[in-house]
Amino acid sequence: MKSITIDKTNALCGAIFVLFGIFFALQSLDLTIGTAFRMGPGYFPLVLAGVLILLGVIIIVQAFRSLHEGVGPIAWRGLLFILPSAIFFGMTVRGLGFVPALFATAFIASFASSRMTPLMAALLSAGLTVFSVAVFSYGLGLPFRSFGPWLGF
Amino acid sequence: MELFHNLALGFSTASSLANLFFCLIGVLLGTLIGVLPGIGATATIAMLLPITFQLEPVSSLIMLAGIYYGAQYGGSTTAILINMPGESSSAVTAIDGYQMARKGRAGAALAIAALGSFFAGTVSTFLVAVFAPPLTKIALEFGAAEYFSLMVVGLVSSIALASGSIVKALAMVVLGLLLGLVGTDIYSGAPRFTLGIREYADGLNFVAVAVGVFGIAEILRNLEGEKNRTVLITKVTGLLPTRDDFRKMFAPVVRGTIIGSALGILPGGGAILAAFASYTVEKRVSKTPQEFGHGAIAGVAGPESANNAGAQTSFIPLLTLGIPANPVMALMVGAMIIQGIVPGPNVATEQPALFWGIIASMWIGNLMLVVLNLPLIGLWVKLLTIPYYVLFPIIMAFCSIGVYSVNSNVYDLYAVAFFGFLGYALVKLRCEPAPLLLGFVLGPLLEENLRRAMILSRGDPSTFVTRPISATLLAIALVVLVVVLLPSIRAKREEVFQDEE
């Protein structure tokens, strides 16, 4: 008896596409669909969402017959520090201001590597902040507030 | 004679002191980025976009173009010296270039790569100058139906040129198109897919999506297995190739230039494919194929010329039709729009100085690269010793500043994190990110032209096949799709991309 093997990578991949397709399809249904002559805002996205769901299903079906291949190592540490560093910058750049937000962003991101020491990260972030303020605020004149209202400025 | 008149205008624009300066900055930054592995031209241009806001449109586009082809040059240096492609398009160069370096011929390999690239750059710049004006004339005849069909061709070709599963690439395009539709509907003003977040009413920021999908995902991939880079050579000597080298490199350079120029026009990463195609051709025609993989000069000269030629000619669809051939060109579209220029066939007639200035600057930039980079090679070698864990916090910081400065919208940074995660997840699931980004850029244009064409034809979809240009374009798209799905071609295609990994 031949056992059925599933390529988990492809199955997951197909599932992601199907989920995105369903999300866009449901959202499109709330919009005016219109006719082919006068397409409403929902027409084109609904068609695309349908195609995406179909393609996702094909990928899932193909996953049942293709050979299994692993996804390889995953950068958990990277995900844990890199992604929040961007979000942190977004949340604090107005409140704290450019200087502290940038320093913290670089500092948080630094720890995505297991080789970074806290001292090194602090030095690097400080240097980077000084450089960026010089280049972006003074050199290019971008309208950033160096220190924000949260710090009493 | 009009060509010479135009070129003269271009050179006078590009050789103003300010533009020469920005061209220089561009190629230097590009080389720097190209040399450093783990950060591509796409993420760099996205990062550096804010620098160009304050500049004149011509200067900013000249600088961005310089970054792009400078990165191609820099990438080959890394490939030759540490057997690691600084840019994906120089992956092939690493095969024979690194072997040459191990035999003590690093200097010659670098010089061959640089001279081959310069030759290719010169020829393909000329090709852009010759072919761009007639194409813009054709493009001016285009209506909504033709634009729609043309974009379909572009999207289909990007699928054909993406590595891996075709169905997945197709799904990536469709997902990209859908993501591109996020924001306010142009006809009815209805907000779409914004999840009620007012900050996304103007759509997802292209720079944020590009930085997330290319920049952040790339950092995460590099962090998976942190390896030590060993620089093979700390001092490069013997830069000048021998007479024998020149003899051996000539034919491959010419062939590489032709292959690269042709493939560069195709949407979806022509430069990368051009390098692979050139390597395959050189191996086929070589009298000594056993040398390949052991330091064959043709294996460096051909692909290096091809990827540079491809990088230049990928400007043709952008400058004539306003349609980006690859993610870098998509960023150039973004830069043009920020500068208040609508990319398309009108640019050549309305802004001749800009149009020809960019073309002329490509040649000047290539010249600068040859003149500057060979003497500066020692500096680039030093850069290779910077450990990655120092680099990526810097990249993160610049990405954050870059994205925020486009619209001062903090939600763009949340989009960066989301698309970084999505991009990384999709790469791990073996999906190519380039088609997604191309879909994202073309999504709104595709929908707009589709709706306009349908209104013009009173809801009759046969308008796409009864108009001759549109019908031809759709036929091309269909042929491309059928060809890539044919079993024999499919096997061959997988073979080509096998070498890539």
Say what the pLDDT of residue B228 is.
Answer: 54
Most confident option among A1-10, B77-86, B411-420, B451-460: B411-420
Q: How far is A45 from chain B (nearest CA, A)?
A: 6
Q: Is B475 helix (H, G, I), strand (E, B) or coil?
A: helix
Cβ distance B212 to B327 under 8 Å? no
Q: Least CA distance to B459: which residue of chain A? A: A37
Task: Record the tokens describing residue B221, joined without a space.
Answer: 């991939």
CA distances from B371 to B61, B68, B134, B500 (A): 22, 18, 33, 31
Mean pLDDT is lowest, of B36-40, B65-69, B400-404, for B36-40
- Tell me which chain B residues have a C-beta less than 8 angstroms from the C-beta of A118: none
Cβ distance B377 to B357 under 8 Å? no
Q: Which of B76, B160, B171, B89 is nearest to B116 (CA)?
A: B76
The residue among B52 and A51 whose pLDDT is bigger is A51
Phi and psi angles of residue B177, each rounded to the nearest 5 degrees, phi first: -60, -45
DSSP A25-80: HHHHHTS--B-SSSB-TTHHHHHHHHHHHHHHHHHHHHHTTSPP-------HHHHH
Say what the pLDDT of residue B482 is.
Answer: 83
Task: Record the tokens describing residue B449, joined without a space.
Answer: 């032209």
Cβ distance B257 to B305 under 8 Å? yes
Q: Which of B493, B158, B477 is nearest to B314 (CA)?
A: B158
Q: Where are the domains of chain A?
A: 8-63, 76-151
Q: Where are the domains of chain B?
A: 2-500
Say what the pLDDT of residue A52 is.
Answer: 93
Task: Record the tokens describing residue A68, joined without a space.
Answer: 């299994």
- Tell me which chain A residues have a C-beta less than 8 angstroms from the C-beta of B170: 55
Say what the pLDDT of residue A94 is.
Answer: 86
Q: Compute the residue count for chain B.
A: 501
Q: Least CA distance to B181: which residue of chain A? A: A45
Cβ distance B61 to B41 under 8 Å? no
Say what the pLDDT of residue A1 is.
Answer: 41
pLDDT (average), residues B85-113: 79
User: What residue type is B11 in one-letter code?
Assistant: F
Say what the pLDDT of residue A115 is.
Answer: 81
Q: Is B234 helix (H, G, I), strand (E, B) or coil?
A: coil
pLDDT bracket for residue B501 (50, 70, 90): very low
Task: Record the tokens describing residue B457, joined without a space.
Answer: 């034809």
Task: Record the tokens describing residue B441, joined without a space.
Answer: 């850029």
CA distances from B232 to B73, B78, B488 (A): 19, 10, 41
Q: What are the pLDDT digits (tens) for B442-482? A: 888 888 889 889 888 888 888 888 888 889 889 988 888 88
Q: How far is A5 from chain B (nearest CA, A)?
A: 17
Question: What is the pTM for the complete model shown?
Answer: 0.82
Q: What are the pLDDT digits (tens) for B147-197? A: 888 888 888 877 776 667 788 889 999 999 999 888 888 777 788 887 878
What is the C-alpha to C-alpha distance for residues B287 and B275, in angstroms, rounded to an integer? 20
Say what the pLDDT of residue B428 is.
Answer: 87
Q: What are the pLDDT digits (tens) for B255-293? A: 888 888 888 877 655 666 778 888 888 888 888 778 777
CB contact under 8 A, A113 and B168: no
CB contact under 8 A, B399 and A84: no
- Residue B481: how many other CB atoms lie within 10 Å: 16
Say what the pLDDT of residue B319 is.
Answer: 82
Q: How far is A84 from chain B (nearest CA, A)?
A: 7
CB contact under 8 A, A89 and B181: no
CB contact under 8 A, B413 and A62: no
CB contact under 8 A, A106 and B396: yes
What is the C-alpha to C-alpha distance for residues B497 and B277, in angstroms, rounded to an integer? 10
B183 strand-pairing partners: B192
Task: State the complex-level ipTM.
Answer: 0.86
CB contact under 8 A, B181 and A102: no
| Mutation site, B60, B159, B178, B456, interface A, largest A CB count within 10 A | B178
pLDDT bracket for residue B67 (50, 70, 90): confident
What is the C-alpha to C-alpha distance for residues A52 and A67, in angstroms, rounded to an integer? 23
Q: How far is B148 from chain A (nearest CA, A)?
A: 13
Most confident option among A43-52, B97-106, B387-396, B428-437: A43-52
Residue partners of B128: CB distance under 8 A and separation at least 6: B312, B313, B315, B316, B319, B359, B362
Which one-letter DSSP state was computed for residue A115? Answer: T
- Tell me which chain B residues have a C-beta less than 8 angstroms from the C-beta of A128: 393-394, 397
Nearest to B392 among A31, A112, A120 (CB): A112
Task: Record the tokens describing residue B100, joined without a space.
Answer: 């040459």
pLDDT bracket for residue B244 (50, 70, 90): confident
For the CA atoms of B61, B63, B64, B66, the dihedral, rounded to the nearest 10 degrees, stands at 120
Nearest to A24 among B193, B403, B428 (CB): B193
Which one-letter DSSP state was computed for residue A138? Answer: I
Angle, nearest 10°, between helix axes B298-313 and B243-265?
30
pLDDT (average), residues B241-251: 80
| Mutation site, A17, A22, A130, interface B, largest B CB count within 10 A | A17
Phi and psi angles of residue B54, each rounded to the nearest 5 degrees, phi first: -80, -10
CB contact under 8 A, A32 and B447: no
Query: In tens digits, what is the pLDDT along chain A, a chain of 153 residues?
Result: 445 567 788 888 999 999 999 999 998 888 888 877 778 888 888 999 999 999 999 988 888 765 656 667 788 888 899 899 989 998 998 888 889 999 999 999 998 888 888 898 999 999 999 988 887 777 777 777 788 788 776
CB contact under 8 A, A124 and B393: yes
CA dihedral (B292, B295, B298, B299) positive or negative: positive
Q: Least CA distance to A27: which residue of chain B? A: B193
